[in-house]
Chain A
Amino acid sequence: MEWDLLFFLIFAIITVAAAVFVIASKEIVHSVMYLALTFIGVAIIFFFLSAEYVAIIQILIYVGAVSVLMLFGIMLTKRRLTGGERI
């Protein structure tokens, strides 16, 4: 097996597993953390496609801006932590 295929499979599995955890996680803050991991995995996939500029822009905008914006959105909206359903 070629080495690049092996590394591609490893990072693809990490990305897909993090995306599944975004949906499956009970606590919504953990969801955002897994979402950042998914974005980093997608950026590494961009490196495999030799699109370094898009990968760096992906890390800057998605991991740096969108994840932090999501965290602010979670902190500023009310969520039911105790009692009731936890979504």
Chain B
Amino acid sequence: MPLEYFLALAAILFVIGAYGVLTKRNAIVVLMSIELMLNAANINFVAFSSFYNDVKGQIFALFSIAVAAAEVAVGLAILLALSKARDTINLDEINLLRW
């Protein structure tokens, strides 16, 4: 299979995740869309590492998975504290850090 198929799949997943980040109002759905975009980046890493016979890409993908897991844990902790303090997780109503 050519490399372009995997790159096209990763691009489609990334565009879906970016659309979800830009349009959704629920903060948890935004976190899920961020996970979709990180998965698209991982597909790119592993595809290039497989097609160039270099294992460094897979190591980068493992680091990326670990960072993504830590990121979703911290993000959900912030959302729980926010929903306890402000009683909402709708991103339109959260303008505490507005400039």
List the B residue with the shortest CB-CB distance to A45.
B43
Q: Which range holds the interface residue count of chain A? A: 35 or more
Contact of A20 among B16, B29, B69, B72 (CB under 8 A): B16
0/1 interface trace, chain A 40-73, chain B, CB 8 Å (1 if under) = 0010011011110110011001100110011011
Q: How many A-B residue pairs have CB under 8 A?
A: 120
Whether B33 pairs with A42 at a CB distance below 8 angstroms is no
State how many residues of chain B have any CB contact under 8 Å with chain A. 45
In the complex, which residues 15-36 of chain B have their Cβ closer than 8 Å to any Cβ of chain A? Answer: 16-17, 19-20, 23-26, 28-29, 31-33, 35-36
Contact A58 B79 (CB under 8 A): no
Give bound CA distance, A56 to B30, whole Å.
26
